[in-house]
Amino acid sequence: MLELQRDTRFIVDDILVQYHIASVDKPLMITFSPAGYVLTTAEAEAGTSAWGFEFFKKMGVNVISFAPIKNKHWFISAALQNYLTQLSPHLTVFPERLGYGASMGAFAHSLYYSQLQLDRLLLITPLTPPKNLMIPTAFDYCAQCQGDITLIFDPLCPEDKSHALRYPSHTKYLKLYGVGHQVIETISKIGYLKSLVMAFIANDINHAEFNKAMRGRRSVERYYSYMARNPTQKLTPSRLNIIRRHLLRWHFAHPTYFIQKLTTKWRKSIRKRLNKLSK
């Protein structure tokens, strides 16, 4: 069912499935993209890769990637479930099956971990779908998962904390304080995301090293802007004033930040419009 040594891509119910298998003697990485990486129809037709695919292929890692097309459907799809059920017996050839996803992607791993026979998972800020989408009854926050689970979240973000603590007792937690739901983006801006993912593949994540690297969040605007919101409503007025002064200093030191931020929002807006037009 899985071809070797070639890029393969096809669509299952508005979901791009893309894989490259270098060797069945190596672990298999399975990725589901976050909500911010929904492909437009034009991008899918033009050959744009699914989130994570090119990185793992370049690193010589066997990879199967799933990406939504047009809609944030959270990978809730009977057709996808049927495909994964058919795929499942073909995955046992690999020595290990690894799952990596953030937010919407982490939810998909939490939903399909059984069919994918995942041995280890790296979940970043997992959430559940909005109320307009019905969560399948099979979803159980990985309660029956026998594999190792590493979950990264911000304990100061109430919604993310609520979801994170519902995972089974053997879950290993890594905490990044003060950035809200933008954990994976912050780890990337710090420059530690590649190291983290490669350590996960090698089954060698060092908690002390992670905590030391996360001190770099003080160089990221998100840390100050999120903390300035007083997300837990427990900061004293004096502490809030200190954070706001640091935020102001950060913006003075990075005068082009707002221009870059507006450009990013403009591009996202265009993508949304294109998705609506392609429906």
State which H helix or E strand residue 63 sits in. strand 62-68
Residue 243 lies in a domain: no
What backbone phi and psi angles, to 5 degrees, belong to 77?
A: -155, 125
Residue 32, pLDDT > 90, answer yes
Would you say residue 279 lies in a domain?
no
Query: What amino acid occupies position 156?
Result: L
**Side chain identity at 140, as an amino acid letter?**
D
> For position 34, what pLDDT does the model report?
97
The stretches of 47-192 forming alpha helices (DSSP H) are: 53-58, 78-87, 104-116, 158-164, 183-190
Residue 48 inside a domain? The answer is yes
- Say what the pLDDT of residue 279 is: 57
List 98's β-bridge partners, or say none: 29, 120
Radius of gyration of the chain from its Cα atoms, rounded to whole angstroms: 19
Domain presence at residue 91 = yes
What is the C-alpha separation between 225 and 8, in angstroms, rounded?
42
Residue 212 maps to which CATH number?
Answer: 3.40.50.1820
Flag whether 252 is in a domain: no
Domain that holds residue 198: 8-216
Is residue 271 very low, low, confident or very high in pLDDT (cuts 50, 70, 90)? low
* Count of domains observed in the chain: 1
In a domain, 241, yes or no: no
Task: For residue 233, give every residue at least 6 positions away whose Cβ sits within 8 Å of its Cβ, in sequence order, or none.
Answer: none
Q: Which residues contact 151 (CB under 8 A, 6 or more apart)?
A: 123, 124, 126, 164, 167, 171, 172, 173, 174
Domain-located, residue 248: no
Please say whether the beta carbons of 14 and 73 come within 8 A: yes
182-240 pLDDT, tens per residue?
999 999 999 999 999 999 999 999 999 999 999 999 999 999 999 999 999 999 999 99
Half-sphere exposure of 261 (CA within 13 A, CB side): 8
Q: Is 78 helix (H, G, I), strand (E, B) or coil?
A: helix
Alpha carbons 117 and 167: distance in angstroms, whole number = 17
Residue 257: inside a domain, yes or no? no
